[in-house]
Structure 1
Amino acid sequence: MFAGHFGLAALVKSRTRKVPLWALMVSSQLLDVVFIPLVMTGTESMDETVYGGGYGGVVIHADYTHSLLGALLLTIVAACVGRWIWGKQAGVIIGAVVFSHWLLDLLVHRADMPLLPGNWGDLPLLGFGLWQYPWISIALESLLIAAGTWMYARTALQRAGRSSRVTPIITSALLGIVLILLLVSDADGWF
């Protein structure tokens, strides 16, 4: 769901002027951005031996960043930063995009997402496991990429008006190409 998060950020950008695209892209991946140093320190990990590795074939032990409470805490922090920089509405938008990461991961992850950080209380792990059905996962991610790219391009062209349409066309095409390449690189481990 790596590229799908970015597709959703592009879709959100098409609906708001207040928040820059780069901030929405970072927000859409904030849980994974925080996950990386925690993996490097051994606090969180990935187990490729369970389902054979490859993206989607990994059990992720993101017991802090991808726990429901951890995601909500990161959402609140990001929303506060967004509010401080761009205003109240932008803070709400950034918070929603950060939390969308957890919601989309809930759809695709196997049951490896805890409710509480560190899986405190040993509660049931969450995840609907769409990664077990690659074509459904790819279709969902492709839909997010297509909708995000389309809406971003459409809005960019409308905002450009009759003036130069070259820049919105080029940036929208580059966005679509990058997202498609990310999807292809994600799907590579499935086949």
Structure 2
Amino acid sequence: MFAGHFGLAAGVRAKAPEVPLWALMLGTQLLDVAFVPLLLTGKETIDDSQHGTGYGKLIIHADYTHSLLGALVISILAGLVARKLWGARASLILAAVVFSHWILDLVVHRADLPLLPGNWGDLPLLGFGAWKFEGLSIGLELLILVIGFAMYFLSALKKSEDTQRRKAATLSSAVLGILLAFSLVTDITSLF
């Protein structure tokens, strides 16, 4: 659900202009950014043996970065950085955006999200499994993208008093819209 995470960031930006869009976009993917070095070192893995490859097929064993406690810790750390850079409100917003990754993953992932890092205690794994129903999960991502983009675009237009700024807002929104659409296409087709 890479695209859905980005759509959420665009929507949040409409309501939280004090947090830069790049920080929101990075924040929505921060759990996956932290996942990459652990994947490369073999601490976390991806399993394609059960369902194959492609959109929503992989089982992700991100037992540290995508555990409930791990996601909370990463969210709090991101919030602390945001507090130093942009203030208290931005801190709460960015921490919530980072944690939203876990919430959205909970909806789409099969049961592969642990509660505690390393699946300590061998507790049940969580995941509602919307990826089992490809049309449903694509629809959810598309809905998040459309709402997030619409919120971003309307907010940008609202803040633009003169014609020149309206043109710039429209152009920047068009670029963002293209990037969001591209992220959805690459997500669904598993190009990247």
TM (norm. structure 2) is 0.96
Within a 5 Å distance, the mapping from 1:82-161 to structure 2 comes to 82-161=82-161
Q: Which amino acid aligns with 1:125?
A: L
- Give the Cα–Cα distance (whole angstroms) in 1 for the partners of residues 93 and 54 of structure 2: 32
| TM-fit CA distance, 1:111 | 0.1
Q: Can you list the C-alpha shifts for 1:2-48, whole angstroms capped at 9, x where unaligned? A: 00000000000000121000000000100000001110111101001
Pairs aligned (count): 189
Q: Is the Cα contact below 8 Å between 1:69 and 1:116 reproduced in 2?
A: yes
* Partner Cα separation in structure 1 for residue 146 and residue 6 of structure 2: 11
Match of 2:68 in 1: 68
Work out the CA distance in 2 between the residues paired with 1:53 and 1:33: 20
The two structures, once aligned, show a CA RMSD in angstroms of 0.8
Gaps of 5+ in 1: none
**Is this contact kept in 2: 1:48–1:54, CA < 8 A?**
no
Q: Deviations over 1:101-141 (max 9, x none)?
A: 00000000000000000000000000000000011101100
**Structure 1 match to 2:169:** 168
1:3 aligns with: 3
Provide the rounded CA distance (Å) in 1 between the counterparts of 2:64 and 2:17: 32
- Offset, 1:162: 2.2
Letter in 2 for 1:167: A
For residues 108 and 17 of structure 2, the distance between their equivalents in structure 1, rounded to whole angstroms, comes to 30
Identical positions, percent: 57
Superposed structure 1 runs of 4+ greater than 4 Å apart: none
Task: Determine the structure 2 residue equivalent to 1:53.
Answer: 53
The 2-side partners of 1:55 and 1:86 are apart by: 36
Query: Unaligned stretches of 5+ in structure 2?
Result: none
Q: Measure, in 2, the Cα distance between the counterparts of 1:17 and 1:71.
A: 24
1:111, 1:125 within 8 Å by CA — same for their partners in 2?
yes
Instruction: Give the distance between the partners of 2:94 and 2:186, measured in 1 at CA.
Output: 27
